Amino acid sequence: MSRTYWGGAVVAAMAVIAPSIAFAAVDAETAFVFNTFSFLIHGVLVMFMAAGFAMLEAGLVRTKNTAAICLKNVAIYSVAGIIFYIFGYSLMYTDVSGYIGSLSLFYDTSDAEKALLAASEKTPELIKSVTDNGYSVMSDWFFQMVFVATAASIVSGTVAERIKFWPFMVFVVVLTGVIYPIQGSWTWGGGWLKEMGFSDFAGSTLVHSVGGWAALVGAIILGPRKGKFGPNGQVLPIPGANLPLATLGTFILWFGWFGFNGGSQLALGSAADAAAIAIVYVNTNLAAAAGVVAAMAASQLLYGKIDLTMALNGAIAGLVSITAGPDLQSHYLSVVIGAIGGVLVVFAIPMVDKLKIDDVVGAISAHLVCGIWGTLAVGIFGSGSLVTQIVGIVATGVFVSLVSAVVWLALKYTMGLRVDPEDEFRGLDQAELGMEAYPEFGPRAQVM
Amino acid sequence: MSRTYWGGAVVAAMAVIAPSIAFAAVDAETAFVFNTFSFLIHGVLVMFMAAGFAMLEAGLVRTKNTAAICLKNVAIYSVAGIIFYIFGYSLMYTDVSGYIGSLSLFYDTSDAEKALLAASEKTPELIKSVTDNGYSVMSDWFFQMVFVATAASIVSGTVAERIKFWPFMVFVVVLTGVIYPIQGSWTWGGGWLKEMGFSDFAGSTLVHSVGGWAALVGAIILGPRKGKFGPNGQVLPIPGANLPLATLGTFILWFGWFGFNGGSQLALGSAADAAAIAIVYVNTNLAAAAGVVAAMAASQLLYGKIDLTMALNGAIAGLVSITAGPDLQSHYLSVVIGAIGGVLVVFAIPMVDKLKIDDVVGAISAHLVCGIWGTLAVGIFGSGSLVTQIVGIVATGVFVSLVSAVVWLALKYTMGLRVDPEDEFRGLDQAELGMEAYPEFGPRAQVM
Amino acid sequence: MSRTYWGGAVVAAMAVIAPSIAFAAVDAETAFVFNTFSFLIHGVLVMFMAAGFAMLEAGLVRTKNTAAICLKNVAIYSVAGIIFYIFGYSLMYTDVSGYIGSLSLFYDTSDAEKALLAASEKTPELIKSVTDNGYSVMSDWFFQMVFVATAASIVSGTVAERIKFWPFMVFVVVLTGVIYPIQGSWTWGGGWLKEMGFSDFAGSTLVHSVGGWAALVGAIILGPRKGKFGPNGQVLPIPGANLPLATLGTFILWFGWFGFNGGSQLALGSAADAAAIAIVYVNTNLAAAAGVVAAMAASQLLYGKIDLTMALNGAIAGLVSITAGPDLQSHYLSVVIGAIGGVLVVFAIPMVDKLKIDDVVGAISAHLVCGIWGTLAVGIFGSGSLVTQIVGIVATGVFVSLVSAVVWLALKYTMGLRVDPEDEFRGLDQAELGMEAYPEFGPRAQVM
């Protein structure tokens, strides 16, 4: 069963059982309301992650690029939502042949729902025709839409402070309209990876690694910011301008992640679903907390200091790591999985630096490395097969990297990807937007 | 049927149908819980919009007026909530004669609910006496209360940076206690506009235009900030001091708007209501996204640059525009309506400037202009009559403008509305609060 | 009945009633879903209060200590969650003997839930074995966990700007793993205070005063910041560096408090529970609003100005004050209780200063003083006995103060509690973290 239809199946099962027993179970219409509401309210929490990414990235760039990164985050969420409405959702979830869905435009409410809403008398037949689906059509769309926006938000942080606005937005269109839905159809759309048994509950691979691969390829093709690497190859720190904002962004992401993972149960209309969601919430929180503690301990041991940004990345690392399998019933494993994620990010960030890849916010380490780790962990600790998990990771990585590379390169040799050095020095805010994020705070330290 | 009683009617209908069919429908008590919870959780989302307005406005004023605008936003939400408790709700929703409700003080839980809560044994009779109302009495009050606070928050942004604190708060008392409830009673209270068929699902006119009219009249009477218009009439930009905060504020507003529009379905206790809310969520998001994209495109075409604040205003414009009719079942219309809103705001902001009206945050353009547009759109695309929509817009505009003008002028000639020029130059923070919002960030650019 | 089992009892009662009546009531499984979801969604709101505390404190410290306070807040929430999982919850809620629970490690899902989740066919028997508990096991854990984090967050604000990171974290471990759970077991765990009739709905005493007592003792043992008190004993103001962030933090706390108080009804699965939660929401909001208005009025009368931070503390004061009894059915009493809280905080803050206790954010005044007031108010206005309320307040205060003092002193004479004067002057960000919160904003005013 695919990500989309799981809830419906459960509800159908309930409907069969319900009449035959003395014990009063959730009726089909009540289950429909629960399932729909779960998509909506969890979806709203995920939507707010757009604010989390915006604040995290606004806190970690320099002041001269802050308005530009805010603009990108607002634009990403907007464009992703429209593209996913026009054709993205359809490519991912409608009539998936195995490798891709169908291209039908303008996803829409079902006729059954329209008939029910239009009817002055809500007859049992009309209600049943709607509740047979298990949840409302557009609530599912809404929940899936906020996921694609997340994948795109990951990219903006990595390539910040030097990429041109419009080429970046073109990439976002391709990522959210083509790359994300196609690979998504393989698993959540019910395609070949799902058939093979690949397991990714809420998207360690499907969302976070996808964003991470696209970001990695983008960072390589784009090249590092001026001043990030010294003439002798040394790594020069470029500190973020507003760490309370980065902290806020991380907390918002954590907050939204309960929607991300909890809503991915895809149903709330039975005791089993409710209990499962509770387990997901707890594991999500334990993994994030363990990620923070592990990242703090690791940076204290390695560097003798605790870097705030390492602790924040530890939280995100823990969250990404548990996202493939937050339904584990052994909670201590969540602590283990999250803690390993927290350690991984502390090692990955300097390693990415050593490879001369300039990732402004650490998204490659937090989302790609830990996304891979989380997906493997399901094979190690969970019900999945490790081999299948590796197949899924590799297939997704190859596909996303290749297509991303083609798109990034095409943009590079047509519109151009990178602002010119003077504009980079002045900052994107003045160069591209003609404004300043903090016009009264100054004089600024001259950070190259 | 009025805004208040709609949910109850649906539930009553369900109760009639339920016993006679084999299909298991939502029972009356379950529907009551759903309806109540929808009011509460959606109301909490709307409550958070107070933080959104605070951050948006704090980001768009200058540093010297930042603490003052924060204080105003906290005070507005508080005062509005208390006034609406003491008599505002009653004026709007209780025994509406057509033009105004009754003046009964201290809105309260029903006797039926008190009896149920006090009973040690919850008998079916006690439960039924409560569930017959469809939702809990105070959940509805809570949801309506957060709306009035929104209307008042709109005003503070426009008149920022030069208005005195206490006269402003007096205006807020009149706005939330008299102006808003009276015009609200005409439609949501079941009064004459409702009778006529005026349609405003979640308040493009009733909330956003009301705030916008009050802001417009206030800005005219108050006059522009010193330095906003040059001696030869030229418009001088006064940039906001903290654009990431403005971005955060916009995202919070967007997040809260799902409660604003979604909760305005006023019921969740049936499949039809759940499906309707899902449609509302989707349309709300599509319109906001389209507003952003359209505002970006328009400002790129007109000015050759994308202003971040234009993109943010585009989001708000899209949201306000869809608020009168987010229940449209043709989702592409939401894209159209939101996009037109996004374009409107890009044209309206310089036009307001040309009229020498100083609107610090662009609230008149986003909330009034787009509020009118959204209300018209229901007449154009939705089920409403365009003539009736115009009647509602004009009636509300005339009433709110006139009463606001009287109150603003009365305040001007008694307490005085405007701080003296020296205090305006020093900033309201030092002049009125004796503090600074960012005491360590400086020296400040001397922006007049 | 204890905090934990209340919901279950209600549901059990429903199950008895349900079959015997014609009126269709909430069935047991639906009630289970409602109760579980209430714990989860309200718990998520409380979780976000961690962001609220972080922003409030980040806004009220000086720039040189901002990254450190952000780090502490992230670390507190993480450590509290892990400790409460390993043994804290068990000490508080499992087999409470009267004064303490049992020490069983790694709290876990029930066997009944595991069996249900593992079963391919969800039989009525399996469902009933789960729904008999009234709510899912881990949803309750999640909700209780976010409360312990709140208690710890209160402490960090008071002792900010001079405490060493690791000793502080050791204190957090003891507070969240030992002090909080033991005193919590007395009331919410069903221990001796519960037996006596002590009433604290959502934790004016159990959460807020506990944090306040620990903070008070810590502030005394730690001593004031350099420069807080002049050579002749005068109180020198040390203004917070970023008041919009403090405003945001307060709004986030207010937003989260609906989860804090609303979720403390511990059930949503009946009309009575839903109506009760609605009342709780309304009282919570009225008390906070009244706290703001009263604090503004009091500071205008006393000082001739309205301090923004006083208004913010007024909101928190109102919220803390109503937390012991937000289920009051006379809403005007919430206004009274919150307003008295708002006045108390305006008087308490200078009084704490006069006692030469340095509370950076005013947490002792807002959380301890108003926590005591709110607990007394239940004895005065509510159903509780005033004598019993006083016993609970005193017992908790003596226990928490004594144990906190032992721990703070033990830390002082082993690891050392306080950074050395040079580090305090440089700021904790550079001294302990090796970074700056706002590296580009400067030059900074030299605030001692």
Helix axes A370-381, A386-412, angle to 10 degrees: 160
3-state class (DSSP) for residue A269: coil
Neighbours of A22 (CB within 10 A): 7
* Averaged pLDDT for residues A83-104: 95
Whether A19 is covered by a domain: the verdict is no
Those of residues 14-33 in A touching chain B at CB distance below 8 A are 18-19, 27-30, 32-33
Consecutive H or E run containing C80: helix C66-83
> Residues 262-321, chain C: which have Cβ within 8 Å of B?
262, 268-279, 281-282, 285-286, 288-290, 292-293, 296, 305-309, 311-312, 315
In the block, which residue shows the tokens 């008041």?
C243
- Judging contacts by C-beta atoms under 8 Å, the chain C residues touching residue B128 are 23
CA distance C410 to chain B (A): 36
Test A241 with C442 for CB contact under 8 angstroms: no
- Find chain C residues with C-beta within 8 A of A444's C-beta: 440-441
| Cβ distance of A441 and C439 shorter than 8 Å | no
- How far, in Å, CA of B250 to CA of B248, rounded? 5
Query: Average pLDDT for residues B14-30, to the nearest whole number?
Result: 62
| A-chain residues near B274 (CB < 8 A) | 32-33, 36-37, 136, 139
Residues of chain C with C-beta less than 8 angstroms from the C-beta of B68: 308
Q: What is the pLDDT of residue B382?
A: 79
Amino acid identity of residue C371, one-letter, is G
Q: How confident is the model at residue B23 (pLDDT cuts 50, 70, 90)?
A: low
Residue B246 tokens read as 């403005």
Residue A38: pLDDT over 90: yes
* Residue at token pair 């008392």: B173
Report yes or no on C439 lying in a domain.
Answer: no
By residue range, what is the domain housing residue A287? 26-96+108-433
**Are the C-beta atoms of residues B268 and B262 closer than 8 Å to each other?**
no
How much of chain B is in helix, strand and coil states, percent to nearest 5?
Answer: 70, 0, 30
Residues of chain B in contact with residue C36, where contact means CB-CB under 8 angstroms, are none
Q: What is the C-alpha to C-alpha distance for residues B417 and B405, in angstroms, rounded to an integer?
A: 12
Tens digits of per-residue pLDDT, B69-107? 999 999 999 999 999 999 999 999 999 998 999 999 999
> Whose CA is closest to C253, among C150, C337, C130?
C150
- pLDDT band of residue A14 (cuts 50, 70, 90) is very low
The pLDDT of residue B2 is above 70: no
> Is residue B335 within a helix (H) or strand (E), and if so which, with residue range?
helix B331-354
Give backbone dihedrals phi and psi of A149, rounded to 5 degrees, phi first. -65, -35
Q: What would the mean pLDDT of A342-347 be, rounded to a whole number? A: 98
Alpha carbon of C33: minimum distance to chain A alpha carbons (Å): 6
> In terms of DSSP H, where are the helices of B263-330?
271-303, 308-322
Buried b or exposed e, range C332-348, using 16+ CB within 10 angstroms: ebbbbbbbbbbbbbbeb
Render pLDDT for B150-174 as a digit per residue (tens, 0 to 9).
999 999 999 999 999 999 999 999 9
- Predicted local distance difference test score (pLDDT) of residue C182: 98
CATH number of domain containing A266: 1.10.3430.10
Q: What is the pTM of this model?
A: 0.96
Pairwise CB contact (< 8 Å): B29 & C34: no
Residue B413 class from Cβ within 10 Å (0-12 exposed, 13-18 middle, 19+ buried)? exposed
Q: Please identify every stretch of chain C with a pLDDT value under 50, giving residue numbers as ranges.
A: 1, 5-22, 444-448
Cα–chain center distance at A384 = 21
Contact residues for B406 (Cβ-Cβ < 8 A; gap 6+): none
At residue C428, φ and ψ (nearest 5 deg) are -70, -25
- Show which subunits contact C, needing at least 3 CB pairs below 8 angstroms: A, B
Please tell me which residue of chain A has the smallest CA distance to C114. Answer: A329
Q: In this predicted structure, which of B44-48, B98-102, B188-192 has the lowest mean pLDDT?
A: B98-102
Chain B CB contacts of A248 under 8 Å are 248
CA distance C2 to chain B (A): 17
Asked, for residue B335, whether it belongs to a domain, the answer is yes
- Helices (DSSP H) in A263-384: which residue ranges? 271-303, 308-322, 331-354, 363, 370-381
Mean pLDDT of chain A: 93
CA separation for the pair B135, B143 (Å, rounded): 12
Contact A308/C433 with Cβ under 8 angstroms? yes
In angstroms, the CA B65 to CA B77 distance is 19
Asked if residue A259 has pLDDT above 50, the reply is: yes
How is residue B49 written in tokens?
Answer: 């919009």
Q: Which of C41, C251, C279 sits opposite B51 (nearest CB)?
A: C251
Q: Band the pLDDT of A383: cuts 50, 70, 90.
A: confident
Structural domain contains residue A221: yes
**How far is residue A337's CA from residue A285's CA, in Å, rounded to a whole number?**
12
Q: Which of B40, B64, B77, B419 has the highest number of chain C CBs within 10 A, making it the mutation to test binding with C?
A: B40
pLDDT at A24: 66
Confidence of residue B25 (pLDDT cuts 50, 70, 90): confident
What is the rounded CA–CA span in Å between residue A351 and residue C35? Answer: 46
Strand partners, B235: B229
State the total domains in chain A: 1
Mean pLDDT of B170-197: 97
Q: Which chains touch A (3 or more CB pairs under 8 A)?
A: B, C
Question: Could you give the residue ranges of the DSSP H alpha helices within B119-242?
Answer: 124-131, 137-158, 165-174, 180-187, 192-196, 210-222
The answer to whether residues C268 and B37 touch, using CB atoms and an 8 Å cutoff, is: yes
Q: How confident is the model at residue B279 (pLDDT cuts 50, 70, 90)?
A: very high
Q: Is B442 on the interface with C (CB under 8 A)?
A: yes
Chain C residues inside the 8 Å CB shell of B37: 34, 268, 274, 277
DSSP-derived 3-state class of residue C418: strand
Within 8 A of C445 by CB-CB distance, chain B residues are: 439-440, 442
User: For the ranges B114-118, B442-446, C434-438, which has the lowest average pLDDT?
Assistant: B442-446
Which B-chain residues 367-396 have CB contacts (< 8 A) with chain C? none
Say which residue the tokens 């049943």 belong to: A128
B405-414: long-range pairs with CB below 8 Å, 24+: B405/B217, B405/B221, B407/B170, B407/B171, B407/B174, B407/B175, B407/B179, B408/B171, B408/B217, B408/B218, B408/B221, B408/B222, B409/B221, B411/B167, B411/B170, B411/B171, B412/B167, B412/B221
Quick check: is C37 in a domain?
yes
Query: Which chain C residue lies closest to B85 (C-alpha atoms)?
Result: C286
C4 in Cβ contact with C107 (< 8 Å) = no
Name, in order, each residue with C-beta under 8 angstroms of B111's C-beta and a sequence gap of 6 or more. Answer: none
Closest approach of B320 to chain C, Cα-based (Å): 23
pLDDT of residue A384: 80
Chain-chain contact of C40 with A279 (C-beta, under 8 angstroms): no
CA distance A378 to chain B (A): 32
Tell me what the mean pLDDT of segment B413-426 comes to: 97
Q: Give the span between the Cα atoms of C344 and C358, in whole angstroms.
A: 18
- List, in order, residues 6 or more apart from B192 with CB less than 8 Å away: B98, B99, B186
pLDDT of residue B3: 65
When pLDDT is averaged across residues B361-387 and rounded to a whole number, the result is: 95
| Most B-contacting residue of A17, A44, A61 (CB-CB within 10 A), to test interface | A44
Inter-CA distances, B365 with A16, B239, B316, C49, C191, Å: 55, 17, 10, 34, 59
A245 and A443 Cβ atoms separated by less than 8 Å: no
Which residue does chain C place closest to B138, by CA atoms?
C278
Judged by CB atoms closer than 8 Å, whether chains meet at C271 and B54 is answered as no
- In a domain? residue A278: yes
Residue C331, burial from CB neighbour count under 10 angstroms (0-12, 13-18, 19+): buried
Share of chain C residues as helix, strand and coil, in percent rounded to the nearest 5: 70, 0, 30
C435 CB within 8 Å of a chain A CB: yes
**What pLDDT is attached to residue C275?**
97
Please name which of C150, C168, C153, C161 lies closest in space to residue C68, comparing C-alpha atoms.
Answer: C161
Residue C218's pLDDT is 98
CB contact under 8 A, A270 and C122: yes
Enter the tokens of residue C119.
């079963």
* Any C CB within 8 A of B150 CB: no
Given a contact cutoff of 8 angstroms between Cβ atoms, the answer to whether B153 and B249 are in contact is: no
Q: Among all residues of chain C, which has the CA nearest to that of B431?
A: C305
Cβ contact, residue pair A329, C117, below 8 Å: yes
Task: Flag if C248 and B71 touch (Cβ within 8 Å).
Answer: no
Please indicate if any CB of chain C lies within 8 Å of the CB of A436.
no
Contacts of B59 in chain C (CB under 8 A): 244
In this predicted structure, the answer to whether residue A448 has a pLDDT above a threshold of 70 is: no
Q: How far is B310 from chain C (nearest CA, A)?
A: 22
* pLDDT at residue number B384: 80
Query: Is A170:A415 a contact under the CB 8 Å cutoff?
Result: yes
Chain A environment of C48 (Cβ under 8 Å): 251, 255
Identity of the residue in A33, A81, A436 whose CB atom sits nearest the CB atom of B274: A33
Choosing among A66, A247, A327, A447, which should be mutated to test the C contact, i.e. which has the most C CBs within 10 A? A247
Q: Does the residue C30 lie in any domain? A: yes
Burial (CB count <10 Å: 0-12, 13-18, 19+), residue A410 = middle
DSSP at B188 = T
3-class state of residue B214 by DSSP: helix
Judged by a CB distance cut-off of 8 A, whether residue C258 touches chain B is: yes
Residue of A384, A392, A373, A381 lying closest to A323 (CA atoms): A373
Q: How far apart are CA C284 and CA B193, in angstroms?
A: 34
Q: Which two tokens stand for residue B228?
A: 């906003």
CA angle B395, B400, B403 (to 5 degrees): 120
- The predicted pLDDT at position B173 comes to 98
Residues of chain B above pLDDT 90, percent: 90
Residue B336 forms contact with A (CB below 8 Å) = no
| Omega cis (within 30) before A443 | yes
How many C-beta atoms lie closer than 10 Å to residue B184's C-beta?
Answer: 30
Distance, C-alpha C425 to centroid of its chain: 31
Q: Please, what's the b/e burial string for B225-248 (b: 16 or more CB within 10 A of its CB; e: otherwise)? A: beebbeeeeeeeebbbbbbbbbbb
A360 touches A163 (CB < 8 A): no
Spatial neighbors of A261 by CB under 8 A, at least 6 apart, are A201, A202, A280, A281, A283, A284, A322, A323, A326
**Structural domain contains residue C34:** yes
Q: Report B:195-234 residues touching C (Cβ under 8 A).
A: none
Check CB contact under 8 Å for A285 and C145. yes
Percent of chain B with pLDDT over 70: 93
